Structure 1
Amino acid sequence: MSLFGRNKNKGKPPPIEPPSKLVEQAFTDLRVHVRLQEQNIATTAQFRVQLHEAMPKLAPYGSNQYAAVRAVLDWDHQIPSEYMLLRIYTAYSRHEARLLDTQIRARDQAIATDNVFPEFDLQDYGDLDASETYIAVLRPGSAAFEEFRFFSDWRKEVRPPVARAALSAVKQLESFQAAYRARQNDALGSAVVVGWVPPCLAESTAWAVEIWLVVEFDGQVGKANVFMVDSESLAITREYVTEVHVP
């Protein structure tokens, strides 16, 4: 069970620094995996500035505030590297910030201990516990994000009243109704709530609820219509089609 949650600042004063300053500091202190450093990738201050400029604006969930934001540029376990992973870890409380920093230092030490020969594989900075985790995929030499995703242990914890309101808003859409009628078959079920999505990905004002309607599925792969619903205004801020895969 994760020690990080989504309501850690209730009743506590917010940190002094706003999110933008914490993110800026995270890129100033950017950790770059040693295997990228050895390839002379992402080692300049200018590149860090470009990464920071490419970073979407972060907003903590609900009434929370960020106590810490940490950034790591990670490697892809290939030499030469074909891509890089920018990992953004956040913490909602000072206690969580200390836990996050302890995990990062432990990973630093494990990597340093195992770094005997440059051709050997090493651990990366993945799978650290945090309040919010963001991962961007980049190509070496480029600060452009090819993908940007959000992860959290509490992402699926959408309270029933919020879920019902979001589903109701989606079901009123003509695009939803048309997709529902055109589905492959009725056995695919109705729309389902996937979880929370931050404003930077949902293009919303408040945190949004992500809803999927599976329209095709052959047992292994399929397609789903995705809807992002602003949790406060109930406006539909994004619609698109995505592929569905069974792991």
Structure 2
Amino acid sequence: MSLFGRNKNKGKPPPGEPPAKLVERAFNDLRVHVRLQEQDIAVSEDFHAQLHASMPELVPYGSNQYAAVRAVLDWDHQIPNEYMLLRIYTAYSRHEARLLDTQIRARDQAITSDNVYPEFDLPDYGDLDASETYIAVLRPGSADFEEFRFFSDWRKEVRPPVARAALSAVKQLESYQEAYRTRQNDALGSAVVVGWVPPCLAKSTAWAVEIWLVVEFDGQIGKAKVFMVDSESLVVTREYLTEVHVP
């Protein structure tokens, strides 16, 4: 039984090339924000190849296949740039690929229209609609990812049977039981399902389910124990502490 809830290409042939080939093509066609180009940052083909080499393997969610992958190297709205943002956008269907490309072209036009003086702020390539979005944070001149994160509008859509199975696997762990016993107080509640995590972040074979157990919280800042559970094998592949902030 499939544990995935959103399968846009179920029963259909793959709409495009293998993920690795699409990612390679995306880096061959890498868009570099004009503010980075003006600072002569990340403009060489050799650097683009280094960025490509830093990319983890992407695996589409469920039975989906990628129809398109797009890569953009974005600025951080500072001159000189302190960070760069590598944005990876994917589309599961040709229709979504066309919509994604339309958004990118519209952002290109907005940037070109506003680019009157080099010291002016400009739009970036953030907040585009895509099937899956990945963002890497880098320092100018470095191809090493300081952070790599996944975003989607369906990430929290974990079906109840999948959530229950993942929670059950986590609650059997000694590390979970120890964290539960020693946490700040019982009012912090039980473990909660946060959403789906791709294999490249969960270090899993299949897509994983992310689960949090809040262990400290003072009303604004706290800590949570994070568990990532392979949705097929139900093996917990990652555990770590993270900070919790309330705006």
* TM-score category, normalised to shorter length: over 0.9
Amino acid at match of 2:222: G
In structure 1, distance between residues paired with 2:72 and 2:7: 25
Distance 2:176 2:13 in 1: 42
- Quote the offset at 1:90 in angstroms: 0.2
Alignment of 1:104 onto 2:94: no
Residue 77 in structure 1 maps to residue 95 in structure 2: no
User: CA contact under 8 A between 2:211 and 2:226: conserved in structure 1?
Assistant: yes
Residues 211 and 226 in structure 1, CA contact (< 8 A), matched pair in contact too: yes
Q: Which amino acid aligns with 1:130?
A: A
What pairs with 1:27-106 in structure 2 (closer than 5 Å)? 27-106=27-106
Aligned length: 243
Where in structure 2 are the equivalents of 1:105-120 lying within 5 Å? Answer: 105-120=105-120
Alignment of 1:167-182 (within 5 A): 167-182=167-182
The residue correspondences of 1:1-247 to structure 2 (distance < 5 A) are 6-247=6-247
The TM-score normalised by the length of structure 2 is 0.97
Tell me, which stretches of 5 or more residues in structure 2 are unaligned?
A: none
Q: Distance in 2 between matches of 1:90 and 1:8?
A: 13
Letter in 2 for 1:192: V
User: Given that residues 6 and 131 in structure 1 are in contact (C-alpha distance below 8 angstroms), is that contact kept between their aligned partners in structure 2?
Assistant: no
SS at match of 1:194: strand
> How far 1:16 moved relative to its partner?
3.9
Amino acid corresponding to residue 187 of structure 1 in structure 2: A
The alpha-carbon deviation at position 11 of structure 1 amounts to: 2.8
2:136–2:147 CA contact under 8 A, matched in 1: yes
1:10 to partner: Cα distance = 2.2
User: Deviation of residue 9 (structure 1)?
Assistant: 1.4
Structure 1, unpaired ranges of 5+: none
Counterpart of 1:109 in structure 2: which amino acid?
A: Q
Letter of the structure 1 residue corresponding to residue 177 of structure 2: Q
2:21 alignment partner, SS class: helix
- Runs of 4+ that moved beyond 3 A: none
Q: Percent identity?
A: 88
SS at match of 2:73: strand
Please give the root-mean-square deviation of Cα atoms over the aligned residues, in Å. Answer: 0.9
- Secondary structure of 1:164's match? helix
Q: Distance in 2 between matches of 1:182 and 1:94?
A: 50
Q: Which residue identity lines up with residue 239 of structure 2 in the other structure? A: E
